[in-house]
Amino acid sequence: MRDNATLRTEMARQSVTPYVPCEYSDAATWVDCRERVEDIRYSLEPYGALATIELNNHDKALSAVNFRKRKARIGTGLVVADVGHYSWIPYLWCYAFRHLSIGRSDDYPNGANIMRLHCEGAMNWIARWHVDDIAGYHFNNEEGTTDADRAAGRDNMTIRQIVAYILAKQGIVLGSDYDANVVIRDPHLDDWKPQMFCEVGENGRKIIRDLLKQTSRAMLMPYEDQMRFRVVADADVLDYVYVTPSEL
């Protein structure tokens, strides 16, 4: 994998060969399309991720595939001793796709058939879900709580449970904490049951972000096709730093 000594030695060289595999989901399996990759552009932000994946469709094998709502994953790594070593970045969801027929150019002397996938990370994906009840959602006996709220269990939820409830609306699982084996916790997550009202039309990402503003240590981060809490501590040896391309 990416953290082995051989790979670190390879990275120290002046010239390296990147290795970027790509797959998309088909029911319970993954379809390898690394030999089809023409271009991948990926951007990671604190509460979102976007990617454009262009696959060669010269044989028209992808033309009949409905990619919308399918998961995709991109690996990042290097070729070491003629072997690709990589790890997957958090998975993506395809929200749109299109078939492109490209005429002859310097990049494509014989023209090309391209399938372009527009994908996004878990927090972008959950932003596509909106509160669909005209009465809104009332959590924890907030004034105006309805029978529908009580039937859905929304009158007795911790922050962790509310986040899991919202993520599930888009088929995303709240996994175990990144710090499951570390005695660091934020009592807000599991002890506090905040009263909260979410208006009809409010999106899932906004609801979650508003909740997390009320915690002192917890961050919600993607892991494969899940989201996980990470409890931040002053003694952490790793800091997450996000920059714009102009700052690089």
188 and 219 together in one domain: yes
Residue 40 near residue 74 (C-beta atoms within 8 A)? yes
Q: Does a structural domain hold residue 128?
A: no
Beta bridge partners of 137: 198
Q: Does a structural domain hold residue 243?
A: no
Per-residue pLDDT reduced to its tens digit, 152-181 = 888 889 999 999 999 999 999 999 887 655
158 and 197 together in one domain: yes
The closest of 130, 125, 152 to 227, measured between CA atoms, is: 125
Per-residue pLDDT reduced to its tens digit, 7-44 = 666 666 656 788 899 999 998 899 999 899 999 999 98
Q: Does a structural domain hold residue 46?
A: yes
Residue 26 near residue 100 (C-beta atoms within 8 A)? no
Its pTM surpasses 0.75: yes
Provide the pLDDT for residue 105: 67
13 and 114 together in one domain: yes
Domain hosting residue 168, numbered range: 137-231
Provide the pLDDT for residue 231: 78
Domain count within the chain: 2
Provide the pLDDT for residue 1: 45
152 and 96 together in one domain: no
Per-residue pLDDT reduced to its tens digit, 44-61 = 887 789 999 999 998 899
Say if residue 3's pLDDT is above 60: no
Report how far apart, in Å, the C-alpha atoms of 40 and of each of 66, 147, 171, 214 are: 19, 48, 25, 36
Q: Does a structural domain hold residue 238?
A: no
The closest of 164, 172, 163, 135 to 150, measured between CA atoms, is: 135
| Domain finish residue from 68, 85, 120 | 120
What is the C-alpha separation between 11 and 31, in angstroms, rounded? 28
Report how far apart, in Å, the C-alpha atoms of 29 and of each of 33, 87, 103, 166 are: 13, 18, 34, 26
152 and 224 together in one domain: yes
22 and 64 together in one domain: yes
Residue carrying the six token digits 């310097």 = 106
